[in-house]
Copies of this chain bind each other. A is one copy, B any other.
Amino acid sequence: MPRNIAVEKLLQTPIEKQRTEIVERKCVGHPDSLADGIAESVSRALSKAYLEECDAVLHHNTDQGEIVAGESMPKFGGGKVTRPIYVLLTGRATKTFDNVTIPTDSIAVEAARKYLKETLQFLNMDSDVIVDCRMGVGSSDLRDVFKACGNNTLPHANDTSFGIGHAPFSDLESIILGVSSHIDETVRPKHPVIGTDIKIMGLRSDDDISLTLCVPMVDRFCSDMSDYVEAVEFIKEDVSKFASSKTSRKVNVFVNTGDRVSENSVFLTVTGTSAEMGDDGSVGRGNRCNGLITPQRPMSMEATSGKNPINHIGKIYNLLATDIATKCVNEVDGIEDLYVRLLSQIGKPIDQPFVASAQFISDGTCDDAKIEKEINALLDDSLENISEITRRVIRGELKTF
């Protein structure tokens, strides 16, 4: 059956030429990102256990769940979490299959705790967090199980839903992703005072870029307010330098603009995340699967993290659309901006979307018909090989937030 593919040329000011652009990223320790990370790590742990026990990935979805903030008393030199962060795991997982029982609740709790331990190094796992679980029993529908042997018929979409992706990244988008990685990989290892719950808000006004960062400082590494102020200055300088090196535009960096130093009201934390006090988080409220929140770009509201990679269209189509967009931009000449949307209809095979739509903005260097044709072919081919996405998720190769 031929696929319903629609490729369309858009007449539109490309993002780089729009006067104002806003992009946001919630880094790894943000409560919403923590929720995403936990949800995805639970799904991966379940997938792994299913494969080991049943030679197939069974139905599950853990794309919900809630992080309820604790209470803390940060203080210079080192304070305390006074009320543990409460993490509620929800969702559903198949518990029995062919007379094999899979310890889904225990797997979920363990995966969540492991993820938190690895992500928040200053969180005391015995006193600062409660990981609770109210996971339900999943459907025992065996129609769409993903078998390890590879001998699978195509699963059916679990929902009427859509996924969206775009490419290439704009200058501002690249900078923000770059700053985030730079801090995580280069700065924090040497400067543990820099907490993980960083929010980066980027604004480009013509050729001026403003990055507004909220950066929690870890109290045990600040002996007093001057240490704190110094850390704020340091990260401001460092990010300015790094960002400026990545663009020819002018970059302005703001850090912790809400601080009122004279009133001792600053962003000091015990563990480096505001989940320790005041900020709840939930799955799917933060970054899209490309790591960004991009209000000028089409976005899906579907959570990518925690959904199962077999037939949960909200996950598969978001990842696939992003993958296709990137591929097209890499392989097809003449594209300035590309938006890919995949819309499913519940119950239909996942390689047969209700519509697969691509909208491109041409850079004017190539023939439109040729671009359309090549995108069309790439879309068709990617849908033909859609189970590759499932396999890559199971292997842990794809980021979801």
Contact residues of A with B, CB < 8 Å?
6, 8, 10-13, 18-20, 22, 24, 64-66, 68-69, 71, 73, 80-84, 86, 88, 90-92, 95, 101-107, 109-110, 113-114, 124-128, 130-134, 136-137, 139, 156-157, 160-162, 164, 199, 201, 203, 205, 210, 212, 214, 254, 256-260, 278, 280-286, 293, 295-296, 298-301, 303, 341, 343, 345-348, 354-355, 357, 359
- The answer to whether B347 and A160 touch across the interface, beta carbons within 8 angstroms, is no
**CB proximity of A394 to chain B, nearest CB, Å:** 21
A156–B258 Cα gap in the complex (Å)?
A: 9
Smallest Cβ distance from A66 to chain B, in angstroms?
Answer: 4
Question: Within the complex, what minimum Cβ distance (angstroms) separates A320 from chain B?
Answer: 15
Q: Contacts A282-B283, A355-B20: A90 and B68 contacting too (C-beta < 8 A)? A: yes
Q: With A133-B130, A134-B68, A162-B22 as known contacts, state yes or no: A282 contacts B280, CB within 8 Å.
A: no
Write out the residue numbers on chain B whose beta carbons fall within 8 Å of the beta carbon of A12: 10-13
Q: Which residues of B contact A156 (CB under 8 A)?
A: 258
Asked whether A110 lies within 8 Å of B124 as measured between CB atoms, the reply is yes
CB <8 Å contact, B82 and A106: yes
Instruction: Given A84-B109, A284-B285, A343-B22, verify A114-B136 contact (CB < 8 Å).
Output: no
Q: How far is the CA of A311 from the CA of B83 in the complex (A)?
A: 26
User: Smallest CB–CB gap between A346 and chain B, Å?
Assistant: 4
A41 → chain B, closest Cβ, in Å? 13
Question: Among the listed B8, B91, B160, B283, which residue makes an inter-chain contact with A212, where contact means beta carbons less than 8 Å apart?
Answer: B160
Q: Point out the residue from B73, B126, B359 that lies within 8 Å of A113, measured CB to CB.
A: B126
- The answer to whether A18 touches B8 (Cβ under 8 A) is yes
Report A362 CB to chain B, min CB distance, Å: 12
14 A-B pairs, CB-CB below 8 angstroms? A6-B20, A20-B355, A66-B66, A68-B90, A69-B92, A73-B101, A81-B103, A83-B103, A84-B105, A86-B132, A92-B278, A156-B258, A160-B212, A260-B347
How far apart sit A19 and B356, CA to CA, in the bound complex (Å)? 12
> Given that A66-B282, A301-B285 are contacting pairs, would A341 and B22 also be in contact in the complex, using a CB cutoff of 8 Å?
yes
Asked if B106 and A84 sit within 8 Å, CB to CB, the answer is: yes
In the complex, residue of chain B having the shortest beta-carbon distance to the beta carbon of A95: B82
* B293→A301 contact, CB < 8 A: yes
Query: Smallest distance from the beta carbon of A29 to chain B beta carbons, Å?
Result: 16
Once bound together, how far apart are the Cα atoms of A285 and B298, in whole Å? Answer: 16
Closest to A130 in B: B132
Which of B11, B95, B257 is in CB contact (< 8 Å) with A11? B11
Q: In the complex, what distance in Å separates the CA atom of A162 from the CA atom of B20? A: 13
Q: A105's closest neighbor in chain B, by CB? A: B83
Contacts A6-B19, A212-B354 supplied; 15 other A-B pairs, CB < 8 Å: A22-B162, A22-B357, A66-B90, A68-B90, A69-B92, A69-B136, A107-B127, A109-B127, A130-B132, A136-B278, A205-B355, A256-B346, A259-B347, A260-B347, A285-B285
Contact A131 B130 (CB under 8 A): yes
In the bound complex, residues from chain B placing their C-beta under 8 Å from that of A113 are 126-127
Contact B303 A299 (CB under 8 A): no
CB-based contact A126/B109 at 8 Å: yes
**Given A110-B126, A124-B110: A359 in contact with B105 (beta carbons within 8 A):** no
Using A20-B6, A357-B20 as known contacts, say yes or no to A280 and B341 having CB atoms under 8 A apart: no
Chain B contacts for A105, CB-based, 8 A = 71, 82-84
Contacts of A283 in B (CB 8 A): 282
What residues of chain B lie closer than 8 Å to A139, measured between beta carbons? 278
Given A20-B6, A210-B354, A303-B285, check contact A109 B130 (CB 8 Å): yes
